[in-house]
């Protein structure tokens, strides 16, 4: 059989998503996530204009060969736009293969290595009290791990920090939609690393005091620190037994993690902005990280992410796949199937999609007692209601910009 048609659907049910819809000559449809937050249309064009025409008529079962063709043949390799496009096709082909085999995808990837995937929720609060309220909400839902982000005295708005509604229901979108009539540009925030470094250990102390030693606590530094600042933070939070410190420095400078390692035993997680195994080469071979943060959506699909995890396995490094709302339910399902199958799974980020998103993408994964499971539906187990999706038109939305108090642009 062959690839007969590739559609690229851009939809915005609550936030923007790009989905490749691949149809075979015998009528099987596979879905792949190509969502790149704030740059969605660039990937849609890459797929429509440069990928889809080259794949029509090819044997859809040759997943590895098609991956290599899309990766090597254009000459311009890697990069987030390219790899999100490669990811979408790859996921769709795996979806088709598993649907044809009549099995949930994890069974094609080697079968289940575990009963479920330990997952962590996003808890945050402008104060430690509000943060603790949010954590209580998640603990009641069964979460055994939470990412804790808190406001810093003196700073107005920090990316990823919001108070949750009563009962722990906490929804935010990383990318802010532009208000009608407003200039089409990201919002801006002000940052002060010294204030943050002073405050964060007290946040860990306040949460440990409330919840005791068992709950797993994670924190995302979101690339904001210099190497020596990161080393200090990793050391300062060490007494509170963090599960991980994520993105303590911008990940592209791999060797700086040596400095952080020299000063602490806080586990480190990096990689949500990476897109290939090569981005991890130093980090993995020198064991400078403990968790791989990539998602299938941004790292070349299941084939790309499986390559990274096979390499990481040799060094005892585990997965902590990226699972924010900007990874679509299709990308999330791909992460879950791979996570269930590989031996070196660690933890899965779980930021549930809004009801509007889930009314368009119908999922079969489930969350129970702190564990996610991809479900038993053949394929990825996600359906896209294309008619409903078409009613939600693309809305420009951008991630924020971060500046220091003197106005200079900072990592965020
Ligand atoms: C965050 C993300 O989930 C995370 O760890 O870093 O929310 C990230 O900021 C967004 O995915 C950016 O698109
Ligand atoms: Mg992150």
Q: What is the pLDDT of residues 324-337, one digit of tens each?
A: 999 999 999 999 99
Same domain, 96 and 138: no
Which DSSP symbol is given to 50? I
Q: Work out which ligand 1 atom sits closest to the CA atom of 37.
A: 13
Whether residue 94 lies inside any domain: the answer is yes
Instruction: Quote the pLDDT of residue 182.
Output: 76
For residue 31, what are the contacts with CB-CB under 8 A and spacing of at least 6? Answer: 19, 20, 21, 22, 91, 92, 95, 330, 380, 382, 384
Q: Side-chain half-sphere of 330: how many Cα atoms within 13 Å?
A: 30
Same domain, 125 and 187: yes
Q: Which residue, of 58, 80, 104, is where some domain finishes? A: 104
- Residue minimizing CA distance to atom 11 of ligand 1: 324
Which ligand is located closest to the Cα atom of residue 246? 2
pLDDT tens digits, one per residue of 142-173: 999 999 999 999 998 888 898 876 655 556 77
* Maximum separation of any 2 CA atoms in the chain, in Å: 62
Whether residue 111 lies inside any domain: the answer is no
Instruction: Quote the pLDDT of residue 160.
Output: 87
CA of 62 to the centre of ligand 1 (A): 32
Q: Residues lining ligand 1, judged by CB closer than 6 Å?
A: 37, 174, 220, 222, 272, 322, 324, 326, 349, 399
Same domain, 238 and 149: yes
SS3 369: coil
Residue 219, domain extent: 117-376
Same domain, 174 and 42: no
Which ligand is located closest to the Cα atom of residue 38? 1
Whether residue 384 lies inside any domain: the answer is no
Phi-psi region of 277 (alpha: psi -120 to 50; beta: other; left: phi over 0): alpha
Instruction: Tell me which of 220, 319, 331, 412 to substitute to probe ligand 1's pocket, judged by most ligand atoms within 8 Å of the beta carbon.
Output: 220
Whether residue 8 lies inside any domain: the answer is yes
Instruction: Quote the pLDDT of residue 181.
Output: 76
Instruction: Quote the pLDDT of residue 312.
Output: 98
Same domain, 275 and 340: yes
CA of 174 to the centre of ligand 1 (A): 7
Whether residue 411 lies inside any domain: the answer is no
Instruction: Quote the pLDDT of residue 274.
Output: 98
Whether residue 162 lies inside any domain: the answer is yes
Same domain, 47 and 148: no
Instruction: Quote the pLDDT of residue 167.
Output: 56
CA of 370 to the centre of ligand 1 (A): 21
Q: Work out which ligand 1 atom sits closest to the CA atom of 147.
A: 5
Q: Which residues of the chain fall short of a pLDDT of 50?
A: none
**What's the first-to-final CA gap in the chain, in angstroms?**
47
Same domain, 228 and 336: yes
Distance (Å) of CA 98 to CA 21, 69, 109, 271:
15, 21, 10, 28
Q: Which residue, of 69, 104, 139, is where some domain finishes? A: 104
Domain count for the chain, please give it.
Answer: 2
Of the candidates 258, 307, 256, 357, the residue with the CA atom closest to the CA atom of residue 16 = 357
CA of 233 to the centre of ligand 1 (A): 20
Same domain, 237 and 93: no
- Residue minimizing CA distance to atom 10 of ligand 1: 174
Same domain, 237 and 342: yes
Here the CATH number for the domain that contains residue 273 is 3.20.20.120
Instruction: Quote the pLDDT of residue 184.
Output: 82
Distance (Å) of CA 4 to CA 26, 29, 91, 94, 387:
9, 10, 16, 16, 21
- Please, what is the Cα angle at 209 between 205 and 213, to 5 degrees? 95
Q: Which residue, of 57, 80, 104, is where some domain finishes? A: 104
Here the CATH number for the domain that contains residue 76 is 3.30.390.10
CA of 81 to the centre of ligand 2 (A): 19
CB 307 within 8 A of CB 274: no
Same domain, 176 and 288: yes
Same domain, 95 and 243: no
- Residue minimizing CA distance to atom 1 of ligand 1: 324
Instruction: Quote the pLDDT of residue 173.
Output: 74
Instruction: List, by residue number, the catalytic residues.
Output: 159, 222
Strands 318-321 and 29-33: unpaired
Q: Work out which ligand 1 atom sits closest to the CA atom of 160.
A: 7
Q: Work out which ligand 1 atom sits closest to the CA atom of 323.
A: 3
Instruction: Quote the pLDDT of residue 85.
Output: 98
For residue 318, what are the contacts with CB-CB under 8 A and spacing of at least 6? Answer: 290, 291, 292, 312, 344, 345, 346, 347
Whether residue 17 lies inside any domain: the answer is yes
Whether residue 175 lies inside any domain: the answer is yes
Same domain, 237 and 303: yes
């Amino acid at each position: 059989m062959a690839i007969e048609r590739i559609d690229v659907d851009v939809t915005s049910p609550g936030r923007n998503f790009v989905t490749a819809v691949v149809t075979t000559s015998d009528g099987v449809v596979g879905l792949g996530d190509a969502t790149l937050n704030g740059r969605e249309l660039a990937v849609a064009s890459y797929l429509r204009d440069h990928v889809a025409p080259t794949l029509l008529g090819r044997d859809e079962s040759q997943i590895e060969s098609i991956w290599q063709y899309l990766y090597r043949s254009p000459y311009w390799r890697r990069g987030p736009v390219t790899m999100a496009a490669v990811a979408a096709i790859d996921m769709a082909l795996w979806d088709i293969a598993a649907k044809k085999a009549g099995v949930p995808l994890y069974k094609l990837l080697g079968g289940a290595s575990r009963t479920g995937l330990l997952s962590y929720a996003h808890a945050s609060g402008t104060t430690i009290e509000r943060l603790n309220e949010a954590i209580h909400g998640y603990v009641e839902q069964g979460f055994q791990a939470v990412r804790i982000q808190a406001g810093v005295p003196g700073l107005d708005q920090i990316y990823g920090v919001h108070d949750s509604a009563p009962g722990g229901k906490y929804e935010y979108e990383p990318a802010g939609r532009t208000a009608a009539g407003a200039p089409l540009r990201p919002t801006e925030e002000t940052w002060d690393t010294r204030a943050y470094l002073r405050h964060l250990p007290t946040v860990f102390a306040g949460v440990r005091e409330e919840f005791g030693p068992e709950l797993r606590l994670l924190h995302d530094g979101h690339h904001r620190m210099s190497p020596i600042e990161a080393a200090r933070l990793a050391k300062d939070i060490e007494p509170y037994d963090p599960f991980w410190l994520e993105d303590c420095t911008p990940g592209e400078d791999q060797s700086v993690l040596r400095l952080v390692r020299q000063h602490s035993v806080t586990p480190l997680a990096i990689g949500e902005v990476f897109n290939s195994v090569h981005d991890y080469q130093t980090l993995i071979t020198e064991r400078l990280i403990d968790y791989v943060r990539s998602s299938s959506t941004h790292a070349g699909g299941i084939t790309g992410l499986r390559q990274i995890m096979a390499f990481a396995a040799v060094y005892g490094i585990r997965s902590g796949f990226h699972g924010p709302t900007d990874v679509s339910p299709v990308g999330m399902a791909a992460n879950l199937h791979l996570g269930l199958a590989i031996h070196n799974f660690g933890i899965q980020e779980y930021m549930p999609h809004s009801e509007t998103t889930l009314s368009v993408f119908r999922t079969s994964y489930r969350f129970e007692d702190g564990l996610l499971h991809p479900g038993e539906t053949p394929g990825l187990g996600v359906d896209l209601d294309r008619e409903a999706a078409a009613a939600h038109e693309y809305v420009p939305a951008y991630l924020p910009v971060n500046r220091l108090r003197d106005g200079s642009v900072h990592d965020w």
